[in-house]
């Protein structure tokens, strides 16, 4: 069985603060993929990143960075210098075999 | 150009009615999905089709029947709507069923059953 846990239900920060969204996963599969999606207030689901289980290199894309640690089964997401437009629900997801399993999401509110 | 589109965007209906949601993707993908997002934002897979064949059916009530006329379309028909069916339904597609393939989502259909 697969499981994704996003322990932080809601986070509120002030603009320009850095914020880290936590994601912990469980799977028995040795080959799997991890994803982050963003759901802004408008409601659509936007793909952010994909990471495979054999690649533990951290990734940076602009103000976004991801830290994958297989030893702790974590795939955390950091936003540097947050902006109001970053306000959204962020979902971590795990895919092994056919199924994509989502965490319950973290609501990030960035206040001006 | 919209990659994955759904119609309608909003659907308000009475309990007991039958309704359909349409999904189309222009990405040339082989695999399509339906997800349900409940009021607490929890997203769960309902169905998956690959080249018009059903490959995932996640213990969804028989009132829900997906139909894939071709690999670019996956429609969802719901019979005898119940209050608990109120949710946002997302269609998604991926290149194929391989684990590494990213799923791209449509804008969602907000269904409200009164």
When pLDDT is averaged across residues B56-84 and rounded to a whole number, the result is 93
**Inter-chain CB proximity B43 and A32 less than 8 Å:** no
First to last CA, chain A: 41
Cα–Cα dist A51/B52, whole Å: 28
Say whether residue B93 is in contact with chain A using an 8 A CB cutoff. Answer: no
pLDDT of A56 reads 85
CA-wise closest residue to A43 among B49, B109, B63, B77:
B109
Size of interface A-B (CB pairs under 8 A): 52
- State the DSSP H helix or E strand holding residue A109, giving kind and residue range, or none if neither: strand A106-111
Q: What is the DSSP string of A42-65?
A: T---EEEEEEETT----EEETTEE
pLDDT of B1 reads 63
Instruction: Among B47, B57, B92, B103, pick the best mutation site for testing chain A contact (most A Cβ within 10 A).
Output: B103
Query: What would the pLDDT profile of B91-113 be if each residue is shown by its tens digit?
Result: 999 998 887 889 999 999 999 99
Query: What would the pLDDT profile of A89-112 be if each residue is shown by its tens digit?
Result: 999 999 987 789 999 999 999 999
Cα–Cα dist B50/B29, whole Å: 9
CA distance B108 to chain A (A): 7
CA distance A58 to chain B (A): 18
Answer yes or no: is pLDDT of A18 > 80: yes
Query: What would the pLDDT profile of B28-59 be if each residue is shown by its tens digit?
Result: 999 999 999 999 999 999 999 998 888 888 87
- In the 8-state DSSP scheme, what is residue A72? G
């Amino acid at each position: 069985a697969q499981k994704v846990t996003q322990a932080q239900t809601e986070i509120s920060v002030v603009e320009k603060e850095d914020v880290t969204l936590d994601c912990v996963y469980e799977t028995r599969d040795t080959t799997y993929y991890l994803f982050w999606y963003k759901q802004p207030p408008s409601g659509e689901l936007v793909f952010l990143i994909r990471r495979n289980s054999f690649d533990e290199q951290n990734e940076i894309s602009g103000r976004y960075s991801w830290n994958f640690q297989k030893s702790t089964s974590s795939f955390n997401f950091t936003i540097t210098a947050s902006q109001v437009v970053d306000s959204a629900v962020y979902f971590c997801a795990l895919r092994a075999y056919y199924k994509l399993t989502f965490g319950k999401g973290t609501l990030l509110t960035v206040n001006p | 150009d919209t990659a994955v589109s759904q119609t309608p965007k909003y659907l308000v209906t009475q309990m007991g009615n039958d309704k359909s949601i349409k999904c189309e993707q222009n990405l040339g993908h082989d695999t399509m999905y339906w997800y349900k997002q409940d009021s607490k934002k929890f997203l769960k897979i309902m169905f998956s089709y690959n080249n018009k064949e059903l490959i995932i059916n996640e213990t969804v009530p028989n009132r829900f029947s997906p139909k894939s006329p071709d690999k670019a379309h996956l429609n969802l028909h719901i019979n005898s709507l119940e209050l608990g069916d109120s949710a946002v339904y997302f269609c998604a597609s991926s290149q194929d069923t391989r684990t590494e393939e990213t799923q791209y989502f449509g804008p969602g259909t907000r269904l409200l059953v009164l």
